[in-house]
Structure 1
């Protein structure tokens, strides 16, 4: 083109994108609501699937005839395998979406997730084979979720103007949190009839959403730019993150006589190899022609700080939800007369203040951040999360529920204040043609933080139980008048005891049934009543469990405070389309457009 270099031409195309999008919005004003409805269905379905699986695990494991005292490895993979796959693939999916179309790959992900749900419903085998099939089919769902997660925020950002994006993302968050609530209720009801119904419930929603998405969603026109698949970047990142997360996962499993696998040579090799590959990855990305991980995006202050705050927030809260459910199911609910079989359902009910806080503040903070910027909403939300962690750390194991509920409500409000404004600030900060990869980078960092958080919290809890549970068990048995049971009861792995309680089983019953009749006959009926009641085992477990729980809460509070400091440094509201002259044309004052000190359109 005469008078212009190729680089200048590309920059001109990039600058014209907002005008194109604005024109499309005027011609089809209702399209943005179609986009919101489709992404809402997807978020609702994925959320229901997560909470309904968590609550229904006792029925699922019982349905496939798995012993809870020996099923820890299956439990870990059912819980963490899905997150591992999504964390690994999100970055690649985001890049592929920018190359081949966000809507196209989003729709494909919707369909794959639905197929995974159908396969889970049809799980043919029982025992270990059935558990492995459930794990594999959950991984299939994870692949589908990777395509939808990496594109949902980008598609919403494309469809909504800058002054409505926070509101749209907030409403999208509501669907996710509503799905968690519905999943808790449906899980308790459907699991009572048949564990397969737990997976079937996602199928009609998935089919409806997939068909509607294929019919209604349309690609947003973006500047044409020659892109290549980053082969070495993909290989290095996927292999590095997968190896690292698998190593961390297996470090939580027993190795020989050691209750954890941190001394397993294969675990050490996997973690070291993963870290090495992840260290090489940014070097490769800084040298390849068209990287999938846009390191230059981190030169945008808002993008860099908001993503780091999001990662630290995920690291703080990723394992929190599960640890709180462990405390409720394994300790507090049995102490208050709830049978072990009913604790999974009631744990979900008693966690509802957390969801309520999300539901209230998610859309409200998104709407307000559209008007006033996200910095102080995100910062205040993280500080509230830190406060809730400190309140939870101060509670005894037999706490008063109203105080616990207030702490959960504060945490929910804090997460609602942080979530959608932080996502909006990230997506607003990048050029339109990079929203797919930016959304993938954001989702990858968040999901990686969640997986690492679960592994971190699990490690803290298991290390504590390993050292404190055996002496607490011996002391408690002696106090109950059954010192002769110390040896046979010591065969209970601390992790097995904890997760048996989580799955709705009292491990004491299992141990007593396995003992010789002569041994059981030597124990007085009064002592057996104490041991098999709803208070003896939870009290014994609590003394070994609570110290690790408090450490986890303190770590969560510290990470939240650090994230709050980073969020406070993001500056005033920054929207990439309104940068510089475009901001003046849109009537924005200079104060609303943050100067990043970097021209990223070239």
Structure 2
């Protein structure tokens, strides 16, 4: 086997493992929280940190690790990532604590995984770029990215199965893959780049890491209730974290200009292709990064219960019903990568994001009780557009930079992508929670009074919107969860028929659907606008540009 295929297959295994891990945890959260005996509906901070903590850590470390790989070797640090990720998976499967202690252990062990994932993500694209000639990189990166989405699909299905057996298997399943991948990478991968000993940019690393961490922590806690408010944006600590983080990130470019060997290669943004493709990639991440979880909440909280599915089964079936989006990406990813090798990325990436923008508009036209065939067609086309964009855009970024800066470039690309995804989740959740905060409490109060339980109206009108939203996401019947927390004297005043009606599969979805769809449509409009902006940035990237080909052309003109 040619070495390039060895490099592709190993890095694809690493991406597959980490993407399976992401979706398998998301779909298995109810079983995980039950396993450690904690109620996620009253412990939002643990839920958010398990969901978003991984992205926060990887986004913070990717640039630094990419820069370190240029200094000490991409394969060496990639191999280290496999080891650390595997250790994190073992620790997660052995989590000894329960309750709050168990939740904190899960978060810490997920952070260990995230450190390993950052090494893998920061170096996989650079290793592929080193191994493949420039006229085959789009195809190779397309295959690699298809594996990432295929891993998400496998994780959704596998998580639904393993969580029913034992929640620890959700983490343990990554261990054999990690052990095999670690052995394979140490035995087969070789260093094609030439490590260049340089000084470590301690100042830049500290300013960037602390600034981005503060921003992402502020965003995470901004989604949690604070005092009598449904969200935490008014929390002084959140405002302080966001202000301090923003100040540090504003100062970061000035720090980098004064450092002899900066970690963030700002001069790469002078390359038109690199700058435009990264801007397009980040806009796409903000537009697209939160769409899957929003659609899963729509399916789990509204559509599936209305169509007879029990709340306990909705996490698994939501993953199944999202398959068309993944199939669209899988179908188009390698094709677009192969076409970009021949014709360049501009047309494909621009057209891909235009298709995604149109798909957002189409989604905004659907009612909450939509026909599934229409929904499946729209998300399939959205997947096609995303697949048309992803691999050509990545290939154009990696092709445009000098070989000695590929690790830094890969880390910068991945950082912008992960930051965009986290910002997307925060943006979409904020829009939905604000809208629901205004409309859901009076709607619940009115609906429960009409159902014959006016004594519950004051209680349901004070239900945290975040709790209602996440309960649907986790596969809990929100009303049943609320009733279980009420004093027996109050619940005993309800007739069995009223309780049965309130806890039925259709009552809560029918009440929440109108305000939820209003807010979701706003998210879709914003997603469409950001996707259109990404298409514009893609169109401005210029003609096909490959650094090696450019250098060869210049040498042929001037042999001296």
Q: Is 1:147 matched with 2:119?
A: yes
Identify if the C-alpha distance between structure 1 residues 226 and 205 changes in structure 2 by more than 3 Å, giving closer, same or farther.
closer
Q: Aligned partners of 1:320, 1:270: CA distance in 2, in Å?
A: 26
Match of 2:367 in 1: 396
Q: Is the 1:150–1:440 contact (alpha carbons within 8 Å) kept by the matching residues of 2?
A: yes
Where do residues 550-565 of structure 1 align in structure 2 (5 Å cutoff)?
A: 550-565=521-536
The aligned residue for residue 62 of structure 1 is 34
Q: Is the 8 A contact 1:578 1:584 kept in 2?
A: no
Among 32, 53, 56, the alignment partner of 1:81 is: 53
The SS at the match of 2:135 is helix
1:382-393 alignment to 2 at 5 Å?
A: 382-393=353-364
Number of the residue aligned with 1:595:
none
Partner of 1:227: 198
Instruction: Tell me which of 33, 36, 42 is aligned to 2:5.
Output: 33
1:580 and 1:508 map into 2 onto residues whose CA distance is 65
Which structure 2 segments of 5+ residues have no match? none
Cα contact 1:337–1:534 (8 A) shared by 2: yes
Alignment of 1:321 with 2:302, yes or no, is no
- Is residue 100 of structure 1 aligned with residue 81 of structure 2? no
Give the deviation of 1:523 after TM superposition: 2.9
The one of 507, 515, 518 equivalent to 1:536 is 507
Q: In structure 1, how many angstroms separate the alpha carbons of the residues matched to 2:363 and 2:318?
A: 16
* 8 Å CA contact retained: 2:58, 2:415: yes
Does residue 257 of the first structure (1) align with residue 228 of the second (2)? yes
Q: CA deviation at 1:176?
A: 1.2
1:71 aligned to which of 31, 43, 55: 43
TM-fit CA distance, 1:479: 2.3
Aligned pairs for 1:97-246 (under 5 A) are 97-222=69-194, 225-246=196-217
Alignment check: 8 A CA contact 2:150 2:330 kept: yes
> Equivalent residue for 1:278?
249
Secondary structure at the counterpart of residue 284 of structure 2 = helix
Indicate yes or no: 2:312 matched with 1:341: yes
Provide the rounded CA distance (Å) in 2 between the counterparts of 1:173 and 1:581.
29
Structure 2 match to 1:593: none
| 1:267 to 1:221, Cα distance in 2 relative to 1, 3 A | closer
* CA-CA distance at 1:485 after TM superposition: 1.3
Q: Work out the CA distance in 2 between the residues paired with 1:312 and 1:299.
A: 19
Compare 455-464 and 294-303 and name the one that shifted more.
455-464
Asked whether the 8 Å contact 1:488–1:511 carries over to 2, the reply is no
Q: Could you say what the CA RMSD is over the residues aligned between the two structures, in angstroms?
A: 1.4
- Is contact 2:193-2:404 (8 Å) kept? no
For residues 345 and 374 of structure 2, what CA distance do their matches in structure 1 show? 29
- Please state if 1:421 is matched with 2:392: yes
Contact 2:81–2:115, Cα closer than 8 Å, also in 1: yes
CA 1:581–1:215: 2 relative to 1, 3 Å: closer
Deviation at 1:264, TM superposition (A): 1.0
Asked if structure 2 preserves the Cα contact closer than 8 Å seen for 1:472 and 1:543, the reply is no
Give the superposition deviation at 1:583: 7.0
**How many residues end up aligned between the 2 structures?**
557
1:491 shift after superposition: 3.9
Which residue in 1 is equivalent to 2:338? 367
* SS in structure 2 of the partner of residue 162 of structure 1: coil
**CA distance in structure 2 between the partners assigned to 1:492 and 1:126 by the alignment:** 26
State the alpha-carbon separation in 1 of the partners of residues 152 and 289 from structure 2.
Answer: 15
2:383 to 393, 412, 421: 412
> Which of the pair has more CA radius of gyration?
1
2:327 pairs with one of 345, 356, 362: 356
Alignment partner of 2:370: what SS? Answer: coil
What's the TM-score, normalizing by structure 2?
0.97
Q: Quick one: distance in 2 between partners of 1:44 and 1:516?
A: 48
**Which whole-Å CA distance do the structure 1 matches of 2:541 and 2:359 have between them?**
24
Question: Counterpart in 2 of 1:295?
Answer: 266
- Give the drift of 1:425: 0.2
Structure 1 equivalent of residue 350 of structure 2: 379
Query: In structure 2, what is the Cα distance between the partners aligned to 1:520 and 1:268?
Result: 40
**Shift of the alpha carbon at 1:226?**
5.0
For 2:503 and 2:466, how far apart are their aligned partners in 1?
A: 19
Question: What TM-score results when the alignment is normalised by the length of structure 1?
Answer: 0.91
Separation (CA, whole Å) in 2 of partners of 1:221 and 1:263:
49
- State how far apart, in whole Å, the 2-side matches of 1:39 and 1:221 are: 16
Kept in 2: contact 1:329–1:344 (CA 8 A):
yes
- CA shift, 1:581, in A, is 4.1
Select between 71-80 and 508-517 the one with higher mean Cα deviation: 508-517
Question: 1:181-229 deviations in whole A, cap 9, x for unaligned?
Answer: 111111111011101100010000000001100111111143x755211
Moved more, 116-125 or 475-484: 475-484
